[in-house]
Structure 1
Amino acid sequence: MNSRPRSKKARTGIPGLDEILAGGLSEGRVFLLEGNPGTGKTTIALSFLLEGAAKGEKGLYVTLSETEDELREGASSHGFTIGENIRVFELVPPESLLDAEQQQSLLYSSDLELGETTKAIFEEFERVRPRRVVLDSLSEIRLLAQGSLRYRRQILAIKHYFARQGATVLLLDDLTSSSQDKTVHSVVHGVIKLEELAPTYGSERRRLRVLKYRGQAFRGGYHDFIIKTGGVSAFPRLVALEHRREFTRDVLPSGIGELDDLLGGGLERGSSCLVLGPAGTGKSTFALQFIMSAINRGEKAAIFVFDEELGLLFARAKAIGIDLQQMRDDGNLHIEQLDAAELSPGEFAHRVREHVDSTNAKTVVVDSLNGYQASMPEENALVLHIHELLQYLNRQGATTVLTVAQHGLVGDMKAPVDVTYLADTVVLLRYFEAHGRVRRAVSVIKKRTGRHEDTIREFRISSQGLSLGQPLDEFQGVLRGVPQFVGKVDPLLKPSQADPDHF
């Protein structure tokens, strides 16, 4: 059976976008890039031309709404240099048209201006003979056409002309004249739509979506992207099923015998663990214990911190015998503080994936999911984002530890997001009162990958680190916060059993 040869692709030069487009834009075709002003169309178009120029291909940027000086100034702000391989053709009404004495109010019609505009574009193309063309923007042509029929015919004429020349064309549309006009959608080979969202607090969020790509599979759905100095970076939506790495699902001990007993030996490689509890119970400390254990085994680890300033975290961890600074200096630990108000979920997933792939990190901590949720306050798919991220990490053989702070301190508490069904292991921390002191207890309420203790143990955090006591068999109501002693022997940790300098 004969199979059609796959068309060559013109890469866009945008990190992540070529992956979304399955390699780039089909050469010799016309594509539409649409979005409201400020969404990044010009920056993407310039990157498209610069990518071709780097390969020795000539490019032509036809601007109908922006001056050449403005275009070059915007390019320089990103560090772009528009060299000899890229021709900027500024196509605006001549200055004589602004002079009232020169205007032809009866003879100068939109028909004439539209025809002259198209003719000028074709003449410039014949002179330059580029491989890549950008036309910015269609709003001006739509206004000149003054009707959907003439506008469609004009777009068809442009498409067929460039198709005969074999050029790859990117049409920009800022949607200012008509956001409901879908005329171009049915004509072009592919459509990419850019959107900008303005949350109640924090910086704007940008996302893109490929609406159409004839004869080509692409990554559907919305994908976050950012504009920064140096251009645009897109973050393809993570699909965990596409990533798989062979590994052995062995049991990883925590380094504390009593905690391993509680966990049925430890955490399985390639599984996820949720540490749940009210503020101050020690969720981060439990997570750091697994980090230290991984590094002691000679593995790499990564921590992504939303809630705590790194200097404070380093000092607090060192006070309990965990030197995060030294681990990072030795190259065994990647630790990154994230600003929830400046981060999109797609960018966060990309950062995690990037570090796991590049460093082969085997233990990943996200502290906490409360901060992760704060990074997307108006998103409705938080659980789906977490699900894909956990599945990806599990398939890479990485053990993931997530922390979630519950509302309240004792009694009936609730978490802001319920992901307990996603995690393979759930560790529950609680405060309780006994003998006039506030104490802490830990229990494992779920372990999908094996057996675990169903007991409750007291724990303490001191300058010697994390220490756990024996099961609290003689108490009832520990998880409610006010237990009752029903036994004969008090199993609570005595001050002499732990460092008196407890935290």
Structure 2
Amino acid sequence: MSDNIDAPNPARTGVVGLDDILAGGLAPGHLFLLEGNPGTGKTTTALSFLQEGARNGEKGLYITLSETERELRDGARSHGWILPENIEVFELVPPESLLDAAQQQSLLYSSDLELGEATRQIFETFERIRPARVVLDSLSEIRLLAQSSLRYRRQILALKHYFARFGATVLLLDDLTSDTLDKTVHSVVHGVIRLEELAPEYGAERRRLRVSKYRGRAFRGGYHDFAIKRGGVQVFPRLVASEHRAGFERRSMTSDIAELDTLLGGGIEQGSSALVLGPSGTGKTFFALQFVAAAVKRGEKAAIFVFDEELGLLFNRTRSMGFNLEQLRDSGMLHIEQVDAAELSPGEFAHRVRDRVDFAQAKAVVIDSLNGYQASMPDENALILHIHELLQYLNRRGATTFLTVAQHGLVGDMKSPVDITYLADTVILLRYFEALGKVRRAVSIIKKRTGAHEDTIREYRIGRTGLKLGPPLEGFQGVLRGVPTFVGTASPLLDMPLAK
């Protein structure tokens, strides 16, 4: 493919994410194919394409062989659209001579209308309006009228050359309801966009698209998630971290707790990622919130994406520990959002995170937890790639990312649902351990790429006064296994002296 040198200004589709994938939009004066099964969003995308042209003063023509004009306009109204006057809808119906007068038919049947008559009506309408943008819906009807692959190919070529003479940009829709193995149009058109709908075992349907062909233009390949919402189609281009970089001053992000910052060797470096790992109930969210609160106190914005906990419960629970998340949210310094993994695709989630960093200038991002994120993407290999690109992107934009992962088990051998420790720059390990008849909690830093850190293990407590860390547990062995052995002479435990 070329590098788009000397390419004319593209015809934007009206779908921002799709234009990004297409390197700006559709090449003017060419024929494009938009294919997908019924319900994948072809008509909505086509209407956006025509309305974008109308906003630029271009005439548009929607030729429909399958839907009635009333159905088309009703569909537009469902998105809050009223089609402007410079968009004309032409409903192709058979002439009276081809209808059975006795039956008083008023609907189009492929067997009733000759292909030549349909083509003549299309050309006459085009010459009367002279639009700059055309949508033909759908090719399945033309394929049935043609009745043979050769005649169908010749008809598509005739349409291509005719529209090219007038410099019109044409979008052909194909609902794949007849002979889906016929790739005739693929070789004729300038570009091919395919829309797909996937049905998971549980949760809302997932939609994705892929550009499989675009002559003379470098487009963004691969699959991209999209959603159909009121107001049109929203496309979420696949994140490529290498395309994004921002200059920023690297400095240590502190927690405002001296013992924790000492354990971390001064804090966590800006533009890096930290993984908080431990069994359920150890306070992973609380550790991440400590850094968020410190960032907001310094005047930096932050964003929290919660997968596992209802926000009302989180607000009440953390308020009793000294964090007023509602007040921080209302001040505009903190964005906090509950994410439903069953309803949100990974692409849309990445888009929301990017939005907070790019436009809201968030410097700290918390994803709580990766277990919930994994539920939105059961394929572990795909999850690793998504997390890798997202973390690399956030690092390049100067945002510090905190991810929490709940391990299986409580003490002893722990297992994680997915291993991303090699992706994170810093790994904070939380553990339960038993000492003197009580269940206690310990923290240790097992990895930090960006500098030195303490290699000790410290006990910590979470109470009404917040997070408190004790001195290094030098008198114990086996803390991380959950059942330590005391080998010292004096207890380093918080508020728990040992008798000699």
* Deviation at residue 251 of structure 1 after TM alignment: 1.3
Matched, 1:136 2:137: yes
**Alpha-carbon displacement from aligned partner over 1:113-158 (angstroms, at most 9, x marks no partner):** 0111111101110111111000000000111111111111110000
Q: Secondary structure at the match of 2:359?
A: helix
**Alpha-carbon displacement from aligned partner over 1:77-131 (angstroms, at most 9, x marks no partner):** 001111211111111335775638589xxxx996970111111101110111111
Q: Is 1:65–1:92's contact at 8 Å kept on the other side of the alignment?
A: no
Structure 1 328/101 Cα, relative in aligned 2: closer, same or farther at 3 Å?
A: closer
Structure 2 match to 1:312: 313
Give the AA of the match of 1:36. Answer: N
Q: Secondary structure at the match of 1:342?
A: coil
Q: Greater shift after overlay, 40-49 or 330-339?
A: 330-339
Q: Secondary structure at the match of 2:195?
A: strand
Structure 1 match to 2:237: 236
Structure 1 386/47 Cα, relative in aligned 2: closer, same or farther at 3 Å?
A: same
Tell me the distance in 1 between the aligned counterparts of 2:80 and 2:362: 33
TM-score, structure 1 as length reference: 0.95
Give the AA of the match of 2:471. Answer: Q
Structure 1 match to 2:330: 329
Structure 1 420/101 Cα, relative in aligned 2: closer, same or farther at 3 Å?
A: same
Q: Secondary structure at the match of 1:162?
A: helix
User: Aligned runs of 1:276-287 on 2, under 5 Å?
Assistant: 276-287=277-288
Structure 1 92/109 Cα, relative in aligned 2: closer, same or farther at 3 Å?
A: closer
Structure 1 match to 2:213: 212
Give the AA of the match of 1:421. Answer: Y
Matched, 1:126 2:127: yes
Q: Greater shift after overlay, 51-60 or 169-178?
A: 51-60
Q: Is 1:432–1:478's contact at 8 Å kept on the other side of the alignment?
A: yes
Please provide the CA RMSD for this pair. Answer: 1.8
Identity %: 76
Q: Displaced runs of 4+ in structure 1, greater than 4 A?
A: 94-98, 100-103, 108-112
**Alpha-carbon displacement from aligned partner over 1:356-387 (angstroms, at most 9, x marks no partner):** 11121111111011111111235741001000
**Alpha-carbon displacement from aligned partner over 1:221-269 (angstroms, at most 9, x marks no partner):** 1110000111101001111111111111111211111111111111001
Q: Secondary structure at the match of 1:16?
A: helix
User: Aligned runs of 1:32-431 on 2, under 5 Å?
Assistant: 32-94=33-95, 97=98, 99=100, 113-378=114-379, 380-431=381-432
Q: Secondary structure at the match of 1:421?
A: coil
**Alpha-carbon displacement from aligned partner over 1:26-63 (angstroms, at most 9, x marks no partner):** 11111000000000000000010011111111110000
* Deviation at residue 300 of structure 1 after TM alignment: 0.8
Q: Is 1:367–1:403's contact at 8 Å kept on the other side of the alignment?
A: yes
* Deviation at residue 491 of structure 1 after TM alignment: 1.0
Tell me the distance in 1 between the aligned counterparts of 2:44 and 2:35: 13
* Deviation at residue 394 of structure 1 after TM alignment: 0.4
Structure 1 202/152 Cα, relative in aligned 2: closer, same or farther at 3 Å?
A: same
Structure 2 match to 1:23: 24
Tell me the distance in 2 between the aligned counterparts of 1:65 and 1:175: 13
Tell me the distance in 2 between the aligned counterparts of 1:143 and 1:113: 10
Structure 2 match to 1:493: 494
Q: Secondary structure at the match of 2:373?
A: helix
Structure 1 match to 2:466: 465
Tell me the distance in 1 between the aligned counterparts of 2:123 and 2:90: 11
Structure 2 match to 1:439: 440
Tell me the distance in 2 between the aligned counterparts of 1:66 and 1:109: 13
Q: Secondary structure at the match of 2:479?
A: coil
Q: Is 2:441–2:459's contact at 8 Å kept on the other side of the alignment?
A: yes
Q: Is 1:111–1:145's contact at 8 Å kept on the other side of the alignment?
A: no
Structure 1 111/376 Cα, relative in aligned 2: closer, same or farther at 3 Å?
A: same
Q: Secondary structure at the match of 2:299?
A: coil
Q: Is 2:94–2:112's contact at 8 Å kept on the other side of the alignment?
A: no
**Alpha-carbon displacement from aligned partner over 1:401-423 (angstroms, at most 9, x marks no partner):** 00000111111111111100000
Q: Secondary structure at the match of 1:433?
A: strand
Tell me the distance in 2 between the aligned counterparts of 1:257 and 1:95: 87
Structure 1 470/312 Cα, relative in aligned 2: closer, same or farther at 3 Å?
A: same
Give the AA of the match of 1:235. Answer: F
Structure 1 349/109 Cα, relative in aligned 2: closer, same or farther at 3 Å?
A: closer
Tell me the distance in 2 between the aligned counterparts of 1:164 and 1:8: 19
* Count of matched residue pairs: 490
Q: Is 1:301–1:364's contact at 8 Å kept on the other side of the alignment?
A: yes
Unaligned runs of 5+ in 1: 497-503
Structure 1 109/236 Cα, relative in aligned 2: closer, same or farther at 3 Å?
A: closer
Q: Secondary structure at the match of 2:70?
A: helix
Tell me the distance in 1 between the aligned counterparts of 2:187 and 2:134: 20
Give the AA of the match of 1:250. Answer: R
Give the AA of the match of 1:311. Answer: G
Structure 1 80/393 Cα, relative in aligned 2: closer, same or farther at 3 Å?
A: same
TM-score, structure 2 as length reference: 0.95
* Deviation at residue 8 of structure 1 after TM alignment: 2.0
Q: Is 1:199–1:378's contact at 8 Å kept on the other side of the alignment?
A: no
* Deviation at residue 490 of structure 1 after TM alignment: 1.2
Q: Is 1:15–1:232's contact at 8 Å kept on the other side of the alignment?
A: no
Structure 2 match to 1:501: none
